[in-house]
Amino acid sequence: MQLYNTLSAKEREKLIEEAGQDRLTISFYKYAHIGNPKILRNHLFLNWDEMDALGRIYVANEGINAQLSVPAENFNVFKTHLDSISFLENVRLNIAIEQDNKSFLKLKVKVRDKIVADGLNDKTFDVTNKGIHVGAEQFNELIEDPDTVLVDMRNHYESEIGHFKNAVTPDVDTFRDSLDIIEQDLAEHKEDKKLVMYCTGGIRCEKASAYYKHKGFKNVYQLEGGIIEYTRQVRAQNLENKFLGKNFVFDHRRGERISEDIISHCHQCGKPCDTHVNCANEACHLLFIQCEECAATMDNCCSMECQEIHALPYEKQKALRKGKGASNKIFKKGRSPVLKYKK
């Protein structure tokens, strides 16, 4: 029973180009009580591999979080398979606003402790006891209410390139960092304010809505389907778009343009820009915002030091990396003293 990829990302990329078929980038999640995540993981991999699905999927006792790409011609087969799984029947699918056939190049289905890392160790907290879901029209009405506090449940590098007007955007690196900060900042408003949250596709603010209800907040709301579904509804219903800029996404695209506003700046020269890149020095791989001019000048690197390393022969670069583990301590997202214009 094969439960792993046999092709490299480059080999898969070549096959996608040769096939010349359109693919759909899709995301979905579902909080549920899953008894044996490993069995579900194996079932999903075997079936989705046959459909030529590619992506990053996490399965845990608390549910599933999936971001993937499927050939457009296999979409109905994929949807039928989802519906055959009881807790995933009619699950909401977020179809990407901007499509890219190479958004994912491998199929990875992994068992995790949680589908969204939260740092919580509270067995009395029920993640399925969520807040009130609202669509785009009601969301627009809610955030104009003076008794509403609108909170972005994403990380600093996401909200930097795009967020809703008047949203609180915590300067945090991870979802777990934001939970206590927001609770502390809004502690005196647990009863008198409407707490409205949003994130990319809904998964983080759904867990947060359950958490804040658990912590005593009385009026908790979340944007159904996140920014992705909001954008679809705004366009379909001709509603006012209250989102400014780009929506950061966790695949090779790194972002979907929601409005023409550019609210961030190149981290190297300061000119208006909202294009995320990774430093070309593989030992750095820093995620940062870089304009085309700086990319050309700096050879797609974040600093002169990285530029010098990147110019070395590959074997020398590889030798310099030897013994250095690839972890979040190395691959920072938008945090570095070399970024002169990082706010």
pLDDT, tens digit, for every residue of 172-230? 988 988 998 999 989 888 999 999 999 999 999 999 999 999 999 999 999 999 999 99
CATH of the domain spanning 132-237, picked from 3.40.250.10, 3.40.50.300, 2.170.190.11, 3.10.620.30? 3.40.250.10
Contact 269, 291 (CB under 8 A): yes
In this prediction the pTM is: 0.81
Domain 9-111 shares a fold with domain 132-237: no
How far is residue 211 from each of residues 119, 169, 266, 333, measured CA to CA in Å?
A: 12, 18, 36, 26
Q: Could you tell me the residue ranges of all domains in the chain?
A: 9-111, 132-237, 264-343
Residues designated as active site: 199
* CATH fit for domain 9-111, picks 3.50.50.60, 1.10.4160.10, 3.30.70.100, 2.60.120.380: 3.30.70.100
Rounded mean pLDDT of 68-86?
A: 95
How high is the pLDDT of residue 129? 87
Residue 294 CA to residue 24 CA, distance in Å, equals 32
Task: Look at residue 1 in the predicted model and tell me its pLDDT.
Answer: 47
| Average pLDDT in the chain | 90
- Residues with Cβ within 8 Å of residue 121, at least 6 apart in sequence: none
